[in-house]
Amino acid sequence: MALTAGIDAGTQSVKVVVYDDQARRVVASAHAPLELTSGDDGTREQHPDAWIQAVTQCFADIDLDVRGRIDAIAISGQQHGFVPVDADGQVLAPAKLWCDTSSTEECEEITDAVGGVERCIELTGNPILVGYTASKLPWTRKHRPEAYRRLAKILLPHDYLNFWLTGEAFCEYGDASGTGWLDVRTRTWSKDLLRATDPERDLSQCLPPVVETATTFPLRADRAAQLGLARDVVVATGGGDNMMAAIGTGCVVPGRLVMSLGTSGTLFAYSDVPVVDPAGRWAAFCSSTGGWLPLICTMNCTVATTTIAQLFGFSVRDGDGHVASTEPGAGGITLLPFLNGERTPDLPLGKGVLTGLTPQNASPGNFYRAAMEGATYSLKYGFEAFASAGMAFDHIVLTGGGAGSAAWRQMVADVFGMPVHVLRDAEGAAFGAALQALWALSKSKGEDTGFAELVDAHVAFDEALACVPRPAQVQAYQEPYQRFTEHLVAVKQIYAS
């Protein structure tokens, strides 16, 4: 019997799940919250020490006997963050996160230096978008020059936690493809993009080696003692949270569409070949299973519902009750939920916009529904790029915190006109990391298990939570969605960078 642990280091919290592959169930889990440092200039930062404290707390909350039987662990980490590390392995500054939009100007500088958006896509498969790691380097050079001078390692959040666990600096193709520097077609670093990021310094010397997914590393003895783990535990490569969620939701073969309703919202699907859009409407990322993961990302999802709930003094746990008292369209209220700026559509300087308010529709329920609808419509807007490229799907697998809402699950089914399936194990990214650890462990023992075989054996769905689209409601959402897209056209003129 093997127990494997998946660690999901997200924006709002760290979660750990321990999975029993024989019983095929999660046998333990723990959670520790994280704080976010925000600034009016779009700054969104966390110090990596907080991640370590949260990981340590999570393992301390798991029974010692369970911890002692863990054989392998893997990290799922929030993508795109920049952790600057010096030659002695010390963190030089807080990590700038995926939702940090303070480096919008630097995105434009890199894009101009390399010859424009089309040239970026030609070189790597992706434009340089705000939030990607690349723009955080010139921002740091300008605003934290001493940290930049001492920079020896460029690490992503999940890379840094692996470094802390193993003492080895390395990355993998899935998470690396979200830096803006990796040519996803060839899986090599783009010298042109690195040069455009800093023409006076060879940044490739700061990038860790990219290792294959099956690679494992020994856990440091002091970390094993600190976390209450056995000395012979191995650390798998792990990956970005979206890549691990793809494993945890079974999205490792073509034809499966996954939607994650977390702080950010994502839509992704697996492909055996690179799927690059010349217009850059989706992220042409690599998967962490040897393939590719075309992905749509919105920067504002549950953050919108949480903000509105806090505004009216209730918990999101009570949100479904408020939605039940309202109808599709929120009485005419439309919320464009660009509270953190936005990636899809590409409005890094965007702000939340509320329209259609009257004395008759001004209720907490309509405000909350408008937030839920706005987050869903943003994903629908992105999905239309997939559909226009000929991608077709017959159902959606839903994961993330928002998937715990019955009202939101049904809304997704009705807005997208597709059945919705929900995982039995709700923490898709953490569970996916546990499965990635299990797969890497099996490979280290000489077994030849494929990812498709693995997920078919271990990924299960809760049929009681499944939703099917209701024709009348599908029709009812069409006019509000059209209204959302019309408002979006107007807002683009206001917040275009």
Q: What are the structure tokens assigned to 351, written together?
A: 């702000």
Count of residues for the chain? 497
Q: Which CATH number fits domain 250-422+467-497: 3.30.300.30, 3.40.50.2300, 3.10.20.600, 3.30.420.40?
A: 3.30.420.40
Mean predicted confidence (pLDDT) in 301-321: 97
Mean predicted confidence (pLDDT) in 10-19: 95
| Domain assignments of the chain as residue spans, ordered by start | 3-241, 250-422+467-497
Say what the alpha-carbon torsion angle 448, 453, 459, 461 is, to the nearest 10 degrees.
-170
Q: Are strands 95-96 and 182-183 parallel, antiparallel or unpaired?
A: unpaired
165 has pLDDT over 80: yes
Say what the alpha-carbon torsion angle 5, 260, 362, 329 is, to the nearest 10 degrees.
-150
Whole-model pTM: value is 0.89
The model's pLDDT over 188-245, given as tens digits with 9 standing for 90+, comes to: 999 999 999 999 999 999 999 999 999 999 999 999 999 999 999 999 999 999 999 9
Phi, psi for residue 307 in degrees, rounded to 5: -60, -45
- pLDDT given for residue 17 in this prediction: 97
Helix (H, G, I), strand (E, B) or coil at 179: coil
The radius of gyration computed from the CA coordinates of the chain, to the nearest angstrom, equals 22
Question: 3-241 belongs to which homologous superfamily?
Answer: ATPase, nucleotide binding domain (3.30.420.40)
Half-sphere exposure of 315 (CA within 13 A, CB side): 3
Same fold flag, 3-241 and 250-422+467-497: yes
d(CA 228, CA 214): 25
Q: What percent of the chain has pLDDT over 70?
A: 99
The model's pLDDT over 78-96, given as tens digits with 9 standing for 90+, comes to: 999 999 999 999 999 999 9
The model's pLDDT over 313-370, given as tens digits with 9 standing for 90+, comes to: 999 999 999 999 999 999 999 999 999 889 888 888 899 999 999 999 999 999 999 9
d(CA 244, CA 240): 6
Of the candidates 8, 241, 277, 346, the residue annotated as catalytic is 241
Q: Return the DSSP state at 124.
A: H
User: H helices of 14-93, where?
Assistant: 48-60, 64-68
Phi-psi region of 131 (alpha: psi -120 to 50; beta: other; left: phi over 0): left
Nearest to 469 by CA among 477, 461, 457: 477
Q: Are residues 193 and 152 in contact, defined by beta-carbon separation less than 8 angstroms?
A: no
**Number of neighbours of residue 108 by Cβ within 10 angstroms:** 15
424 has pLDDT over 90: no
Q: What percent of the chain has pLDDT over 90?
A: 90
End-to-end CA distance of the chain: 54
Longest dimension (CA), the chain: 68
241 counts as catalytic: yes
373 has pLDDT over 80: yes
497 has pLDDT over 80: no
Nearest to 116 by CA among 192, 184, 198: 192
- pLDDT given for residue 1 in this prediction: 64
